[in-house]
A and B are shown apart, each in its own frame.
Chain A
Amino acid sequence: MQFDTHQLMRHFPELIQALGVTVWISTLSLAFGIVLGAFACLGKLSGAGVGYRFATGFIDFFRTIPEVVLIFWVYSCLPLLLSVRISSEGCGVIALSLFGGAYLAEIFRAGVLAVPHGQVEAARALAVPTFHIWRRVIVPPAIRRMMPAFITFLTELLKASSLLSAIGVGEMAYRASVLGAKTLSYFEFLSAIAVLYFLLIFPLSMLARQTEKRLLRRTGH
C-alpha cells in the first residue's frame, strides 16, 4: 500500500489550522476551568456549610460522569434551556470547563493540603493577615506540589478535546475524519493527527514524570 503523502501535503494547512483549534479550545477551557476549580476548591476547603456541600456536589458530579455525556448534554440541552444559540465551540468550551473545574478543584485541594500545617500555624501566630498567609505561605509550595497532577490534567484535557469532534467542532479529529472521508485517504490523515496528538501530549507526560521525580527528591514525599 502506498502512503499517499500527496493528499497530506495538499491539506496540510487545514490540519495545522485544526491543530490551532485544538490548542485554542483547550486553552480557553483551561482558563475557565482554573477559575471554576479555584472557587470549588475553596468551597470544599471551608469544611462545612453551604459552600462545602455545593462544591463537593459539583466536584463529585462532574468528575464522575463521562466527558462525552456532558458534551452531548451541553450541546443538545443548554441552547434549548436558555433559548439562545450556542456554537459548537461554545458548547465544547462550556463542557470542558465544567469537567476541568471539577478535576482541578481536587488537584488544587491536594496541593493546599500538602502544605505543612505547622507553617500555616506559625503564620497565624505571627498575626499575618489571612490573605497574605494564602499568598506567601500556602500558594507557592502548593503550586509546586500540584505540578505533576496539573500537567497530567493538561494531557487529559487535550485528549478530551478530541471528543468535541462529535459535536462538529473543527479540531483535529474532526478535520481528519472529514478529510479522510473526502479523499478516502483515511489512513494518511488519521495517522497524521495521531502523530500530532502524540507530539502534543507525550512531552507533557514526560514533563509530569520529571516534575514528580524532582518533587520526590526535594521534599521526600
Chain B
Amino acid sequence: MVAEIPTKTSSEQIIVCRDVLKRFGKFEALGGVTTTITAGEVVCIVGPSGGGKSTFLRAINGLEAIEGGEIIVDGIHLPGSKRDIQQIRREVGMVFQSFNLFTHMSVRDNLTLAPITARGLSKDKANERAEQLLERVGIGDQIDKYPSQLSGGQQQRVAIARALAMEPRVMLFDEPTSALDPEMIKEVLDVMRELAHSGMTMLVVTHEMGFAREVARRVLFMAEGQLLVDAPPDMFFNRPSDPRQESFLSKIL
C-alpha cells in the first residue's frame, strides 16, 4: 500500500526525459528512455546490473553526456552549456554507492564546502545548516570527526546530509545501501524514508525491494538500456507485465 505523499505543486514536472540515448563506444547503455518525474514523487528504479539504471541517473545531472534525446530538469535542457549543467547540479543532489566523502576534510567541511562555494552562503550560515542537517540524519555529534572515523552507515548519512545542504529540489540515489554491511542498511533507509515523507522528490536506484514497495509511488524496471515497466508498487510486484521483469523478480524475491 502506498502512503499518501504530500506534494509541493501537484503536477509540476521536475524531470522530463524523451528518447534519451547514451552509448559507450558501440555499447548502447541507454536506448531511448522516456519518462517524467513530478514534484514530490518517490520513484524507485530496479533491474539487473548493467541495465542502464546508474547511467540514467548520472545523465540527469550531467555526469554522463547523452548522445540523443533530451532531458529537461527544472526547466533546463540537456544537452546544454556548462552553465546549464552547473545550474542543474545546484538543484539536483546525488548520493553515491561508495559515499565519496572528502576523506581529508572533517564532516563539517564536507557539508559546508558546496553551500559556501556554489551558493555563496556565509561560513556561519553554512555551519548552521550543516549542524541542522546532521541532527536531522541522526549524527549531530559527529560533526567534527573525519570520515575514516565513522562507520559505513554513518558515512552514507553524512553523504545524504551533504547533498541536502545544497537545498536541492530533487535527490538522486545511486544504490545507496549496496556497499553497506547489512546491520547498517536500516539506518540509511530510515533517513531516506523520512526524507520521502517530508515531500522530497526522489529517484532511487536500489535493490531494496521492501523500501520500494513501502515508499515509492512508482517503480521503474530497466534492463538492457530500456525502460520496460513503469507501475505503482502493488501492480509492479504482484502483477508483472514483462517477461524479463518476471524473471528478475523471481530471482530477487
| Residues of A that sit less than 8 Å from B by CB | 116, 118-119, 121-129, 132, 136-137, 140-141, 144
Contact = CB atoms under 8 A, between A and B. Distances in A.
B113 A122 contact: no
Contact of A122 (B86, B87, B100): B100
Interface string B93-104: 110101011111
Given A118-B96, A128-B113, A136 B105 contact: yes
Interface of B: 61, 63, 86-87, 89-90, 92-94, 96, 98, 100-105, 113-114, 117-118, 159, 162-163, 166
A125 B101 contact: no
A163 B92 CA distance: 57
Given A121-B96, A122-B96, A132-B117, A127 B89 contact: yes
Do most interface residues of chain B lie in helix, strand or loop, or is the interface mixed? mixed
A132 B113 CA distance: 9
Given A119-B100, A119-B102, A127-B86, A136 B61 contact: no
Given A119-B101, A137-B102, A141-B104, A125 B61 contact: yes
17 contacts: A116-B103, A119-B103, A121-B96, A121-B100, A122-B94, A122-B96, A122-B100, A124-B63, A125-B163, A127-B114, A127-B166, A128-B117, A129-B86, A136-B102, A140-B104, A141-B103, A141-B104
Given A118-B98, A126-B162, A141-B104, A136 B113 contact: yes
B111 to A, nearest CB: 10
Given A122-B162, A136-B105, 6 more contacts: A119-B101, A123-B114, A124-B89, A127-B90, A129-B117, A129-B118
A132 B86 CA distance: 13
A121 B94 CA distance: 10
B10 to A, nearest CB: 28
A121 B89 CA distance: 11
B232 to A, nearest CB: 29
Minimum-distance CB pairs A-B, first 6: A122-B100, A127-B89, A126-B114, A118-B100, A125-B94, A132-B117
